[in-house]
């Protein structure tokens, strides 16, 4: 009986974890001012909460040095009532706190000094997944979770492994990762994330209409999505690049130890250092055997 | 399949000396014409009446025989004797193929091309079960059969090459059957005297194979052979002495053995314990867990006691430590044989004459580098320490491994991102990032300002203008219908579905053929010998033919599906082009370096 009950619940009750990029370097140069972006976000969060009174929304800020929860609809309105102003007040206060804290952390961190530092997407995704896991374990009835990433700054390649791990764990727990790019560059990470987890990847052209995009594409719950025709990614390039010349190749050599890809035969794997001891006989030194 | 003409002797019975003549075979008939035109032994037989064929194992001086039986139950048939095994095997293969064709089963075509026989002979001795398994696989998998017919019977690939890439299929089958293959025969019991009972003469029969075994298991005999044979003794004398020594040992005639050994120093070699084996054994004992006291343990068994022992050759074998003459016990022999089997025997040794066998074995058995006394005692100490340590209290011994270290992930993923961007057609129009030259503090300051402005201005209503909302909706709509038009979900399926059925089948056939050929092509590189060279040439010719066929398909296609077909054919031709250009490159390279006019 309990399971049947929970099924009814989870059909159209959503737990949306919104990951917001608060990279100061990006927002300082962005076409859309952060203030406007934030207003759009607050309205979107409120829309989600209004769609179903059991919906839950969590907002996580991904800075350059730290990540934090900046909004949780559960402790904002335990009574179930939703007020735009309440959300706004709470969120803006938390964002301010978070940014001050991130600034302090960045100041003491010399590695983030460069202006093209990436936001901590991997950390934010991990926080989101942890939150979702907590909800999963907290009772028999749980809402359908999904993650929405609002990213502006470019990807941080050094986070690749961590991001990929997050993506795969999201896939395992069947949490779709939706992505909405508010910056100038497409994100390879989020493209893959959305592709692998079955989420929606979107890069809006008109950033001033961000709310419209969010409401039209990302607001519907997972159950309703099956009836909708949502934007599709125009294609994910699955071809691999070789590690030696960064060329996209169709056919190449793969290290048997670490699976690094090379376009030419290597004596030694430049990634993990394994030596390929198979002796390739020199053709020219071979005796003439074709007679 | 052609025909075959070969000189042979026709025999009516096994004892019959045979009528020399010429054996001609083609796909349907075999004819035998005696050299002597007066002879009545003419034959003209339809292959359909032949039900099976048998051949003998050629050993020593026995003639190479091939028996074509008319009916496998009744045993009637035709027997031919050949000058040598090679001719016989050629005939046998031919007959097997013809019979296979007539009986609707295609038996594997043993590597018959003369230029390959050197390399492939001995590599694959097909057992009947193996052949059966292959035929069964072919029968079950029509696609495989198609490929087999196309390539193996079309002379593009050899039987063994074709199956080499499908070992897993065969193995799956083989799992059901026993996997054990006949091992190396032992020299323990083969050299056995046979007495005729009337005289005191004892006869030993030695074959090359047995000599091979003796050499492998008794290194001292091998050494003695290499030392003595051409200089001091003839081949025959050597083996006579060996057999005599064997006989003495076997009859346990200790007194006679001692006497003989005193007289004949060469004979004594065989009677003594094998010192090479003793040395090896000593080395091995050193590697044994040093906490094990083998000498003390030796007292625990009963074999050395009188009336205890293993029954062998009808008598109890007991350990007699008094005599310095060799006393090999059964367990020693067994152990030695097991060691030889485990070491493996070089299969490339041709069993021609004893001398070359002995030399080849001696070459393969290189003396291990003798370690100095200090070194070995140190090693022993280390071993003792390792054995006596209390495992729980030790840190885990580090297993040697190559540490995995990704040097700079950024280097790789930067390029990945660029690729991803390129593939999306660079839709970053009009929103070029303004060059950001702000310091960290300035950037954060800007962000804080933004937030303060939010707090001051509160939220603006409405959050979105209606014209902007319409624009967005139009854009989304357009994107969705565009992606629908492109049928992004499964473009391949759509493509193939639009092509007529027979073209579809043809293309799929070509695909499987190309895949098979390419697999063989690329696995042949680098070309190290003539066999591989020939294989590549054959495969290349076949690929050229398919290439032309693909072009023909493309050109003869109906205009309405021509575009689809060319899109389907493109990856095939690309893969073939890659192979051709690699081949050309290799040829140029070797031509440049070696200046060989034939390009190899």
Please give the pLDDT value at position A68: 92
| pTM attached to this predicted model | 0.45
DSSP-derived 3-state class of residue A274: coil
pLDDT tens digits, B240-294:
888 877 777 766 666 776 777 777 777 777 777 667 777 777 777 777 776 776 6
> C-alpha dihedral over B182, B187, B189, B195, to 10 degrees?
120
User: What DSSP string runs through A190-211?
Assistant: HHHHHHHHT--EE--S-GGGHH
Enter the DSSP assignment of A14: E
Q: Which pLDDT score, from 0 to 100, does residue B71 have?
A: 60
What are the pLDDT digits (tens) for A3-15? 444 444 466 788 9
Q: CB-based burial of residue A253 (10 Å sphere; 0-12 exposed, 13-18 middle, 19+ buried)? A: middle
Rounded to the nearest 5°, which phi and psi values hold at B50? -85, 130
CA distance A142 to A135: 7
A32 Cα to chain B: minimum distance (Å): 10
Say which DSSP state B256 is in.
Answer: H
8 Å CB contact of A157 and B419: no
CA distance B52 to B96: 8
Sign of dihedral through CA atoms A90, A92, A96, A99?
Answer: positive
Distance of CA B172 to the CA centre of its chain: 16
Give the one of A39, A92, A96 whose C-beta lies nearest to B463's C-beta: A39
CA angle B177, B179, B180 (to 5 degrees): 125
Write down the pLDDT at residue A104.
Answer: 85
CB B65 within 8 A of CB B55: yes
Element (H, E) at A105: helix A84-107
Nearest alpha-carbon partner for B323 in B263, B267, B249: B249
Best residue of A246, A268, A269 to probe chain B, by most B CBs closer than 10 Å: A246
Separation CA A35–CA A38 (nearest Å): 5
From A174, A221, A216, select the one nearest A9 (Cα to Cα): A221
- Non-local CB neighbours of B9 within 8 Å, separated by 6+ positions: B17, B18, B19, B20, B21, B80, B81, B82
Average pLDDT for chain B:
70
| Rounded Cα gap, residues B25 and A111, in angstroms | 84
pLDDT grade for A169, boundaries at 50, 70 and 90: very high
Q: What is the mean pLDDT of residues A50-61?
A: 90
Tokens 């040093």 map to which residue? B290
B492 touches chain A (CB under 8 A): no
Candidates B116, B445, B459, partner chain A, best to mutate (most A CBs within 10 A) = B459
A289 contacts B533? CB cut-off 8 A: yes
The alpha carbon of residue B274 is apart from the nearest alpha carbon of chain A, in Å, by 39
* Angstrom distance (rounded) from CA B289 to CA B9: 63
Query: B349, B353, B366: which is closest to B184 by C-alpha?
Result: B349
Contacts of A122 (CB under 8 A, 6+ apart): A159, A162, A163, A165, A166
Cα B582 from chain centroid? 26
Q: CA angle, B73 as apex, B68 and B78 as ends, to 5°?
A: 20
Binding-face residues of A in 138-157 toward B, CB within 8 A: 154-155, 157
Distance CA B123, CA B159 (A): 12
> Chain B neighbours among A 88-107 (CB < 8 Å)?
88, 92, 95-96, 99-100, 102-103, 106-107
Of A239 and A231, the structure prediction assigns the larger pLDDT to: A231
**Long-range contacts of the stretch B430-433 (C-beta < 8 A, 24+):** B431/A31, B431/A184, B431/A207, B432/A184, B433/A29, B433/A183, B433/A184, B433/A185
Q: Which of A24, A248, A286 sits opposite B419 (nearest CB)?
A: A248
What are the pLDDT digits (tens) for B431-460? 334 444 567 778 888 888 888 888 777 776
With CA atoms as reference, the chain B residue closest to A289 would be B530
DSSP-derived letter for residue B230 is: T
Give dist(CA B413, CA B419) in Å, integer. 10
Q: Are B213 and B187 in contact (CB under 8 A)?
A: yes
**Secondary structure in 3-state letters for B7-19:** EEEEECCCCCCCE
Work out the mean pLDDT of chain A and round it to a whole number. Answer: 80
DSSP for B175-191, please give it.
HHS------PPPSTTTS
For residue B428, the chain A residues in CB contact (below 8 A) are 184-186
* Better-scored residue on pLDDT, A27 or B599: A27
Residues 6+ apart with CB under 8 A from B201: B195
Q: For B277, what's the count of Cα atoms within 13 Å in the CB-facing half-sphere?
A: 21
Q: Of A107, A186, A212, which is closest to B464 when you measure between CB atoms? A: A212
- What Rg, from alpha-carbon coordinates, does chain A have? 23
Backbone angles phi, psi at B518, to 5 degrees: -65, -40
User: A204-208, A215-219, B19-23, B432-436: lowest mean pLDDT where?
Assistant: B432-436
Give me the pLDDT at residue A108, please. Answer: 73
Which one-letter DSSP state was computed for residue A148? E
CB spacing of B488 vs A186 below 8 angstroms = no
Q: Flag whether residue A246 sits within 8 Å of chain B, measured between CB atoms.
A: yes
- The reply to whether residue A39 touches residue B586, judged by beta carbons under 8 angstroms, is no
Tell whether B406 lies on the interface with A, counting CB pairs under 8 A.
yes
Mean pLDDT, range A143-154, rounded to an integer: 91
Distance, in angstroms, between B583 CA and closest chain A CA?
Answer: 13
Among B116, B407, B412, B461, pick the best mutation site for testing chain A contact (most A Cβ within 10 A).
B412
Burial track A255-264 (b if 16+ CB lie within 10 A, e otherwise): bebbebbbbe
Of residues B130 and A81, more confidently modeled: B130
Alpha carbon distances (Å) from B513 to B139, B143, B156, B547: 18, 10, 12, 11
Distance from CA of B168 to the nearest CA of A (A): 21
Q: What is the mean pLDDT of residues A60-82?
A: 77
ipTM of this predicted structure: 0.74
Q: Which chain B residues are Cβ-neighbours of A232 within 8 angstroms?
A: 480, 483, 488
Write out residues 509-568 of B within 8 Å (CB-CB) of A: 526-530, 533
What pLDDT score does A59 carry?
Answer: 93
Residues ≥6 apart with Cβ < 8 Å to A101? A66, A68
Handedness of CA B304, B308, B311, B316 (dihedral sign): positive
Residues of A in contact with B471 (CB under 8 A): 206, 209
pLDDT at A288 over 50: no
Domain boundaries of chain A, sorted by first residue: 11-226, 239-281
Q: Do B417 and A158 make contact, defined as CB atoms within 8 angstroms?
A: no
Give chain B positions within 8 Å (CB) of A25: 436, 438, 443
Query: What is the SS3 assignment for B279-291?
Result: HHHHHHHHHCCCC
Q: Using alpha carbons, list the distances in angstroms from residue B148 to B134, B200, B522.
A: 11, 61, 19
Whole-angstrom CA distances from A245 to A242, A248, B290, B412, B420 are 6, 9, 54, 9, 16
Spell out which residues of chain A touch residue B594, defining contact as CB-CB under 8 Å: 284, 288
- CA B96 to CA B36: how far, in whole Å? 29
How close are the terminal C-alpha atoms of chain A, in Å? Answer: 83
Give the DSSP H or E segment for B6. Answer: strand B4-11
CB-based burial label for B392 (10 Å; 0-12, 13-18, 19+): exposed
- Do residues B111 and B159 touch, judged by C-beta distance below 8 A? yes
Dmax (CA) of chain A? 92
Question: Look-up: residue for tokens 């000396």?
Answer: B17
Residue A214: pLDDT band by 50, 70, 90 thresholds? very high
Element (H, E) at A232: none
B436 to chain A: which residues are within 8 Å by CB?
25, 28-29, 115-116
Q: How far apart are the first and last CA of chain B?
A: 30
**pLDDT the model gives residue B112:** 39
Answer yes or no: do B424 and A234 touch at CB < 8 A. Answer: yes
Our CA-based measurement puts residue B574 at a distance from the nearest CA of chain A, in whole angstroms, of 11
Q: Say if A73 is an interface residue toward chain B (CB within 8 Å).
A: no
B395: left (phi over 0), alpha (psi -120 to 50) or beta: beta
Structure tokens at B1: 């399949």
Mark yes or no for CB contact B434/A29 under 8 Å: yes
The CATH class of A11-226 is alpha beta
Does A280 reach chain B within 8 Å, measured CB to CB? yes
The number of residues making up chain B comes to: 600
> Would residue B340 be called left, alpha or beta, if left means φ above 0 and alpha means ψ between -120 and 50 degrees?
alpha
Query: What is the DSSP secondary-structure string of B315-349?
Result: EEE----S-SB----HHHHHHHHHHHHHH---TT-
Q: Does A174 touch chain B (CB under 8 A)?
A: no
Can you spell out the DSSP letters for B108-167?
------HHHHHHHTTT----HHHHHHHHHHHHH-HHHHHHHHHHTTTTSS-HHHHHHTTH
Residues of chain B predicted below pLDDT 70: 1-2, 57-62, 71-76, 102-126, 171-202, 204-205, 250-254, 257, 273-274, 290, 293-329, 344-357, 360-376, 386-387, 389-391, 394-438, 460, 485-497, 593-600
């Amino acid at each position: 009986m309990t399971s049947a009950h929970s099924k009814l619940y989870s059909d159209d009750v959503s737990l949306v974890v919104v990951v917001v990029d608060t990279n100061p370097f990006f927002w300082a140069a962005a076409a859309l001012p952060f203030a406007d972006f934030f207003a759009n976000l607050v309205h979107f969060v409120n829309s989600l909460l209004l769609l179903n009174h059991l919906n839950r929304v969590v907002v996580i800020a991904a800075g350059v040095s730290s990540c934090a929860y900046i909004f949780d609809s559960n402790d904002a309105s335990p009574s179930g009532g939703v007020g735009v102003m309440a959300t706004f007040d709470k969120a803006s206060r938390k964002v301010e706190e978070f940014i001050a804290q991130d600034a302090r952390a960045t100041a003491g961190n010399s590695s983030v000094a460069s202006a093209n530092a990436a936001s901590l997407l991997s950390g934010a995704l991990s926080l989101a997944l942890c939150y979702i896991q907590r909800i999963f374990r907290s009772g028999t009835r749980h809402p359908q979770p999904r993650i929405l990433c609002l990213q502006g700054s470019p990807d941080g390649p050094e986070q690749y492994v961590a991001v990929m791990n997050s993506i795969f764990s999201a896939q395992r727990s069947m949490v779709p990762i939706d992505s909405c790019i508010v910056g100038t560059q497409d994100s390879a990470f989020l493209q893959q994330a959305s592709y692998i987890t079955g989420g929606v990847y979107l890069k809006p052209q008109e950033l001033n209409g961000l709310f419209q995009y969010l409401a039209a594409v990302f607001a519907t719950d997972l159950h309703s999505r099956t009836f909708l025709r949502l934007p599709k990614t125009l294609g994910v390039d699955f071809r691999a690049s070789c590690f030696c010349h960064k060329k996209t190749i169709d056919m190449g050599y793969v290290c048997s130890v670490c699976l690094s890809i090379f376009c030419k035969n290597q004596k030694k794997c430049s990634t993990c250092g394994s030596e390929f001891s198979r002796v390739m006989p020199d053709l020219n030194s071979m005796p003439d055997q074709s007679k | 399949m052609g025909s075959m003409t070969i000189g042979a002797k026709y025999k009516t019975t096994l004892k019959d000396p045979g009528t020399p003549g010429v054996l001609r075979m083609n796909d349907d008939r075999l004819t035998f014409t005696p050299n002597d035109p007066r002879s009545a032994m003419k034959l003209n037989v339809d292959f359909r009446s032949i039900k099976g064929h048998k051949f003998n194992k050629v050993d020593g001086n026995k003639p190479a025989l091939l028996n074509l039986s008319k009916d496998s139950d009744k045993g009637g048939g035709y027997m031919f004797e050949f000058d040598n095994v090679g001719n016989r095997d050629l005939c046998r293969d031919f007959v097997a193929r013809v019979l296979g064709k007539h009986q609707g089963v295609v038996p594997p075509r043993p590597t018959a091309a003369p230029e390959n026989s050197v390399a492939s002979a001995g590599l694959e001795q097909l057992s009947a079960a193996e052949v059966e398994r292959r035929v069964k696989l072919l029968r079950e998998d029509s696609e495989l059969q198609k490929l087999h017919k196309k390539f193996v019977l079309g002379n593009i690939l050899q039987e063994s090459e074709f199956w080499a890439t499908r070992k897993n299929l065969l193995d799956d089958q083989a799992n059901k059957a026993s996997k054990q293959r006949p091992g190396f025969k032992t020299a323990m019991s083969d050299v056995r005297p046979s007495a005729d009972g009337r005289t005191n003469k004892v006869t030993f029969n030695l074959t090359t194979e047995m000599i091979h075994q003796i050499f492998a298991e008794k290194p001292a005999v091998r050494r003695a052979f290499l030392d003595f044979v051409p200089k001091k003794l003839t081949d025959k004398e050597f083996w006579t002495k060996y057999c005599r020594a064997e006989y003495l040992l076997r009859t346990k005639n200790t007194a006679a053995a001692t006497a003989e050994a005193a007289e004949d120093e060469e004979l004594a070699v065989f009677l003594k314990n094998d010192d090479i084996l003793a040395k090896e054994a000593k080395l091995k004992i050193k590697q044994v867990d040093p906490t094990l006291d083998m000498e003390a343990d030796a007292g625990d068994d009963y074999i050395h006691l009188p009336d205890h022992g293993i029954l062998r050759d009808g008598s109890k074998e007991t350990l007699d430590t008094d005599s310095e003459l060799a006393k090999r016990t059964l367990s020693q022999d067994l152990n030695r044989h097991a060691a030889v089997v485990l070491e493996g025997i070089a299969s490339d040794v041709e069993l021609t004459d004893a001398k070359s066998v002995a030399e080849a074995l001696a070459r393969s058995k290189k003396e291990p580098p003798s370690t100095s006394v200090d070194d070995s005692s140190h090693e022993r100490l280390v071993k003792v320490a390792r054995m006596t340590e209390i495992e729980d209290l030790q840190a885990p011994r580090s297993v040697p491994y190559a540490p995995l270290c990704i040097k700079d992930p950024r280097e790789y993923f930067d390029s990945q991102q660029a690729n991803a961007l390129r593939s999306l057609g660079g839709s970053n129009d009009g929103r070029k990032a303004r060059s950001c030259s702000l310091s960290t503090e300035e950037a954060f300051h800007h962000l804080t300002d933004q937030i303060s402005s939010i707090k001051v201005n509160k939220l603006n209503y409405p959050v979105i203008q209606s014209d902007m909302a319409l624009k967005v909706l139009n854009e989304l709509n357009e994107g969705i219908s565009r992606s629908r038009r492109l049928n992004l979900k499964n473009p391949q399926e759509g493509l193939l579905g639009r092509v007529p059925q027979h073209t579809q089948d043809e293309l799929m056939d070509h695909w499987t053929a190309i895949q098979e050929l390419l697999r063989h092509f690329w696995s042949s590189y680098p070309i190290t010998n003539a066999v591989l060279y020939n294989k590549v040439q054959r495969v290349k010719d076949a690929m050229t033919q398919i290439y032309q066929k693909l072009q023909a398909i493309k050109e003869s296609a109906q205009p309405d599906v021509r575009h689809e077909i060319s899109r389907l054919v493109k990856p095939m031709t690309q893969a073939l082009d890659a192979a051709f250009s690699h081949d050309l490159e290799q040829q140029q390279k070797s031509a440049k370096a070696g200046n060989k006019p034939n390009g190899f």
